[in-house]
């Protein structure tokens, strides 16, 4: 094998650049040529492909987002787009592809492998909603970004004795809410994976106020409902001096944490090692601190499970 390609796809995530750098540098170290593909699968189909050198990926490890740009490109679900993509890869002599992204990006990679083209997937999404990996690239940074916001919100919540509902990203997964909620000392964490009862949330808030805790933070995963809707329901059960904040895309930006950079570097390097061994059609993840490859097909037969013991832990610690 002489040439590999890299693309980032779906929602950007902090650490994607570190992963691209790791793939490129490791591949070059092994004597391979590396091609970057801009705008994910959309750029692949359009042939927006360029040759990288070691400097292309210099000064990128610390940057959030993805310098390869990203795009959501549902058209890649059509066979026509997939074949066009493979045609472009062949035109550039690119023999294997590393795809960094989330669930949708993995579907694209799987389609390529079904057409006999070698692709490896790296989990890059803030949502942490990919099976067979304890963490995805970008998740740790997103949690820390939310945490910083919670700490700031707590200052004003305490000063005015208010209750804040803080809505965080995560699509259908509650992982960001869970981790940031526990780390931020949330009074309650509301996630799609657990049923909740607004009346019970209100009762806990009231009890906590009676015990002397005059302010509170409730972390709400976006997959449950909007913060305003939740606040409205909560206000039916009492006056908790409510305010709601939607952190939105702020959660997705920023310089990646050390943990995300190291994870991205390990995953990127391993992807190249596997391609050199002639392996493809796999998705990489980290399990018990080991980089593991799973057949890409297996991923779609499994569900990601959020660490629900964190939910129970928070119930015990909130007062």
Residues of the chain by 3-state class (helix, strand, coil), percent to 5? 45, 20, 35
Contact 282, 150 (CB under 8 A): no
* Nearest in space to 309 (alpha carbons), one of 196, 185, 179, 187: 179
- DSSP letter at 187 equals S
* Nearest in space to 224 (alpha carbons), one of 250, 204, 198, 203: 198
* Closest distance to ligand F6P from the beta carbon of 126 (Å): 5
> Is 216 annotated to bind ligand?
no
> Is 237 annotated to bind ligand?
no
> Is 307 annotated to bind ligand?
no
With a CB cutoff of 8 Å and minimum separation 6, the contacts of 258 are none
- Check the CA dihedral 82-84-87-89 and report its sign: negative
> Is 129 annotated to bind ligand?
no
Q: Which two tokens stand for residue 292?
A: 């593991």
* Closest distance to ligand F6P from the beta carbon of 277 (Å): 31
Exposure on the CB side of residue 257, measured as CA atoms within 13 A: 18
Pairing of strands 290-295, 282-287: antiparallel
Instruction: Measure Cα distances from 61 to 18, 207, 222, 298 in Å.
Output: 4, 47, 29, 31
* Closest distance to ligand F6P from the beta carbon of 153 (Å): 19
Binding site for ligand F6P (CB under 6 A): 11, 72, 102, 125-127, 169-171, 222, 252
Q: Which is nearer to ligand F6P, 76 or 240 (CB)?
A: 76
Q: Which is nearer to ligand F6P, 171 or 261 (CB)?
A: 171
> Is 251 annotated to bind ligand?
yes
User: Catalytic site residue 127?
Assistant: yes
With a CB cutoff of 8 Å and minimum separation 6, the contacts of 42 are 48, 71, 73, 75, 76
* Closest distance to ligand F6P from the beta carbon of 166 (Å): 14
* Closest distance to ligand F6P from the beta carbon of 50 (Å): 25
Q: What is the CA radius of gyration of the chain?
A: 21
Q: Which is nearer to ligand F6P, 222 or 260 (CB)?
A: 222
For tokens 């997939």, what's the residue? Answer: 82
Catalytic residue among 12, 59, 127, 188: 127
> Is 125 annotated to bind ligand?
yes
Q: Which residue ranges are tagged as binding site for ADP?
A: 21-25, 154
Q: Which residue ranges are tagged as binding site for substrate?
A: 125-127, 162, 169-171, 222, 243, 249-252
Q: Which residue ranges are tagged as binding site for ATP?
A: 11, 72-73, 102-105
For the annotated catalytic residues, the residue numbers are 127
């Amino acid at each position: 094998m002489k040439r590999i390609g890299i693309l980032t796809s779906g929602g950007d995530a902090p650490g994607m650049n570190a992963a691209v750098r790791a793939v490129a540098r490791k591949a070059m170290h092994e004597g391979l040529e590396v091609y970057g593909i801009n705008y994910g699968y959309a750029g692949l189909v359009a042939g927006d492909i360029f040759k990288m050198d070691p400097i292309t990926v210099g000064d990128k490890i610390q940057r959030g987002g993805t310098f390869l740009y990203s795009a959501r490109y549902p058209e890649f679900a059509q066979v026509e787009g997939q074949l066009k993509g493979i045609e472009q890869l062949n035109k550039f002599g690119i023999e294997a592809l590393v795809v960094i992204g989330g669930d949708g990006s993995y579907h694209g990679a799987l389609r390529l492998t079904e057409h006999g083209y070698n692709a490896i997937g790296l989990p890059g999404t803030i949502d942490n909603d990919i099976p067979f990996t304890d963490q995805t690239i970008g998740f740790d940074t997103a949690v820390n970004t939310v945490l910083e916001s919670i700490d700031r919100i707590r200052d004003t919540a305490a000063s005015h004795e208010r209750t804040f509902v803080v809505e965080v990203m995560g699509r259908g997964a509650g992982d960001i809410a869970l981790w940031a909620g526990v780390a931020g000392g949330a009074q309650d964490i509301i996630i799609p994976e657990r049923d909740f009862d607004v009346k019970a949330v209100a009762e806990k808030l009231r009890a906590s106020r009676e015990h002397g805790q005059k302010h509170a933070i409730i972390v709400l995963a976006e997959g449950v409902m909007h913060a305003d809707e939740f606040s409205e329901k909560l206000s039916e059960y009492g006056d908790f001096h409510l305010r709601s904040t939607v952190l939105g895309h702020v959660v997705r930006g920023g310089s990646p944490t050390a943990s995300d950079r190291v994870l991205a570097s390990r995953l990127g390097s391993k992807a190249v090692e596997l391609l050199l061994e002639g392996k493809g059609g796999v998705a990489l993840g980290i399990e018990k601190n080991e980089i593991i490859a799973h057949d890409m097909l297996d991923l779609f037969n499994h569900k990601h499970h959020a660490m629900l013991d964190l939910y129970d832990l928070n119930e015990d610690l909130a007062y």
